[in-house]
Chains A and B, each alone.
Chain A
Amino acid sequence: MLSLNVNGKTLEVGEDLDPKTPLLWVLRDTLGLVGTKYGCGVGQCSACTVHLNGVAIQSCQVPAESAVGQRITTIEGLSAPGATLTAVQQAWVEEDVPQCGYCQAGQIMRATALLARLPKPTDAEIDNDMAANICRCGTYTRIRKAIHSAAAKIAKTGGAS
């Protein structure tokens, strides 16, 4: 039995669960939080990006047992259902970033962590972080634009996203 803190809630996950199961599959199959995506399973594409204590990590590379006692945030935890979207989510919609949309949860999680650390990132700083994530559809031009736009939104509202 593992006790995980996901999106502000403490959740007990099953007795028959292999504690070495990657966090990705515990989120998707055990907890039904399917916003976090499987793309490669080998830490190459970052479709599985979530936050561990506010830091962007690849959940396919983290055994569930090592996430015990840490703060896990998934795409479902950024804004409550029906509530106002975060600045990053809003920018993604306004700039019409997604094509297929499959990688975008991972992109948004990494961009959110980036802006928490560097509120006004340069293009080079964006490249440095976001190069971890693959977008097979090639929406990079818009991802860059949306990050700048989200940064401006956050600056305007004084940091609250």
Chain B
Amino acid sequence: MSNQPFEPNPYLPEYLQKLEVERHEQALALSRRTFIKLTGLAGGGLVLAMSMGPGARRALAQTKAPSAEVTLNPYIQIRPDNTIVLYAKNPEVGQGVKTSLPMIVAEELDADWSKVEVRQAVIDAKLYGPQVAGGSTSTPTNWDPLRKAGATARAMLVAAAAKTWNVPAAEITTENNVVRHAKTNRSATYGELAELAATMPVPDAATLQLKPRSSYRLLGKRITGVDNTKIVTGQPLFGIDYRVPGMLFATFTKAPAIGAQVKSANLDEIKKLRGVKDAFIVGQKGDHIAFSPGAPALGSGVAILASSTWSAMQAKKQLKITWDETDASSDSWTDFKAQAKAFAAKPAAAQVLGQAGDVDGAFAGGKTLDAMYTYHYVSHADLEPQNTTAWFKGDSIEIWTPSQTPQAAVDAVAALLGLPKDKVTLHQLRGGGGFGRRLANDAVCEAAAISKQAGGIPVKVQWMREDDMTFDYYRPGGFHSFKASVDKAGKLAAWQGHFITVSRDGKAPMTAANIAPTEFPANVLANQRMLQSLISSRVPTGPWRAPGSNAIAFAVQSFLHECAVAGKRDHLEFLLEVMGEPRFTVADNLRALHTGRAANVIKTVAERAGWGREMPKGSALGLAFHFSHAGHFAEVAEVSVDADKKVRVHKVWVVADIGQVVNLSGAENQCQGSVVDAVSTAMGLKITFEKGRVEQTNFDKYPLVRIDKAPEVDVHFVESSYPPTGCGEPAFPPAAPAIANAIFTATGQRVRTLPFSTEGYTL
């Protein structure tokens, strides 16, 4: 492992970056010690039953394990009937970790998957370390700790058998919940050995034998989601499904112009409506514009509590609120576009984020081209609108929510209500989509504040779709102006990116609105410069699937294609040339772009898609590559365009290097879904605002793609000896530029705006 300071993913919010760095430092510390007991938080969250403190014991008791279940460690319980309970530590929002993380434990435990029941773990940092669904980090950060959790329990089962049979542990083998000693032809089930195993000494981490990949029985296989039977039979699983006896259903109405405050409202009229039990004004607390999962985020608004969701929603429509707009946003997308145009005309006035080589010399000596790309704001549009159930009980509070950052939610609520953190109990529920929206805990803060203000009544705050679309931490819109030089041989000689983005304070970009100075291709070119200009804005922004990358890849990979065309080069050959010699772009960093891995996926996708084949008139293939979240992804889109600019995306080929694949079915599903999401977003999705007010309020104005317009998606994972990386995000970024590049090849027209519908191209 390198001694260099660890660089976290530059596009993640500070909260997740901190966790990435902490995790890296823990791993580093662990690898430097030769003789370690797996105690405390060593290894990033593995605590063994033997060393649990009273707090951890209490937390584990919340799982209400019947006494018959033997706890070997916080991830594993074994029952006398030889079935196993595995605990899934991280929030499940559709990315598949409730299945894939326990698979890692089961592999090293040599568990029989058909005898495994998976349960959601309690939210407790002492037991599990960071519990987060974000940044495609669940798999890479838990890979080692979960393998060790499985291997530790397996070693204790083996030790129990060795003691019982009085044979050497080294002669004992395990398979599918059974321990065997071949020489004496003896065997016992895990269920039979569990009680004794729990009394065995916890093995040192250094002595643990982790399996070589060649002997994996489970990892890399197709495993169906552990909640699938409940999902297909409609069992309660999601945040919106949760109920507490005596609970009221609440809506919360905030200002149409971001930042406005309630002056007064027709509360007396509202309280008389059918089903309404209470209505009151809630004051602003904390900062709900800044994306900050662990801090109070409560906007000013009106709460209506009713006996049913429908009554609360109907009453919401009757609300008449007078707003104080003194501090309200008056942001206008039309104005942002005008500002960006002015900035793009004056690159010399921009801030220089980074540069190398002789950019101006190269510009003077070769053929130059320039272009400006635009991308709109987009909403997360989780299909399950934001919601939280909260029950304030005087000196404590209980919360049921599908947060992607449950530990931060506890911090936020504790600060909001002035409670100690250990008086905030959060129950993790399944989220109906996440995509980064549920990293923010604004709905959690609302429910907590409303339950308290209502006098300790349990309350479910349910956002309407209109609330969800107009109060988001949006994928920021922005602009990217480029200049490049292509030499006589058609080689990319110099590159300048001028990133024009939004800032709240005029000093730094808002969350997920930044670009890394080393963003590709700056990290592989000799002559390059990265510039930045800032537009003042108060529209909330936050991480949205593949933050940063989701728009940057469109601009960069499209303009690279423009360079290839300018140099009269085949795009595939040009892209491989830009990658150059196989090397890490950050020395010794396994999670950095490796140009050889990039070239491998680019070549493989070209082969699978039949790059270079004859295409009918109006049809073409388009290519793009993007590296994000430590994943190398190349994609080819087959597209046809008619005279009316009607586009059909027939098929998209995805080739990825994500290291060891954990759950093949889950990983493939994420890639298929990411491509469909990218087709939606590239073709038709945008959020605009004028006078600080968002203009799209429901799906009728936000055309998510449907089955009839969704492409076929072919997914292939290359054989890779690297450790696994996350798969929820990195398949998204290359799809839009692949489609745009195909549209150019089919029509000769370059699309430079996301979504393409802005330029008249529709599905």
Contacts and interface: CB of A to CB of B under 8 A. Distances in A.
A20 to B, nearest CB: 9
B228 A92 contact: yes
Contacts of A130: 706-708
Contacts of B706: 130-134, 140
Contacts of B309: 25, 28-29, 38
Interface stretch (B102-110, B120-128, B668-676): B668-676
Interface string B296-320: 0000000000011111011000000
A101 to B, nearest CB: 4
Nearest to A136: B383
Nearest to B434: A100
Nearest to A143: B707
B227 A101 contact: yes
Nearest to B714: A141
A98 B233 contact: no
B699 A45 contact: yes
A127 B314 CA distance: 34
Contacts of B730: none
Given A18-B310, A37-B432, A138-B673, A89 B384 contact: no
Given A34-B234, A99-B670, A44 B431 contact: no
Given A42-B700, A100-B433, A139-B669, A85 B241 contact: no
Contacts of B434: 100
B14 interface: no
Given A37-B240, A99-B673, A100-B431, A134 B699 contact: yes
A131 B231 contact: no
B521 interface: no
A105 B492 CA distance: 51
B415 to A, nearest CB: 29
Nearest to B92: A100
Interface string A112-149: 00000000000000111011111111111111100000
Contacts of B237: 101
A45 to B, nearest CB: 6
Nearest to A74: B234
Interface in A1-28: 16, 18, 21-22, 25, 28
B630 to A, nearest CB: 21
Nearest to A78: B233
A44 B669 contact: no
A89 B240 contact: no
B94 A99 contact: yes
Interface of A: 16, 18, 21-22, 25, 28-30, 32-42, 44-45, 47, 74-76, 78-79, 81, 85, 89, 92-94, 96-105, 108, 126-128, 130-144
Interface of B: 93-96, 222-225, 227-229, 231-238, 240-241, 243, 249, 274-275, 307-311, 313-314, 381-385, 430-435, 462, 464-465, 665-666, 669-670, 672-677, 680, 698-700, 704-708, 710, 712-713
Given A133-B707, A138-B672, 17 more contacts: A25-B308, A34-B234, A37-B432, A38-B240, A44-B698, A93-B228, A93-B229, A93-B232, A94-B224, A96-B666, A98-B228, A101-B228, A101-B430, A136-B433, A138-B673, A140-B710, A142-B669
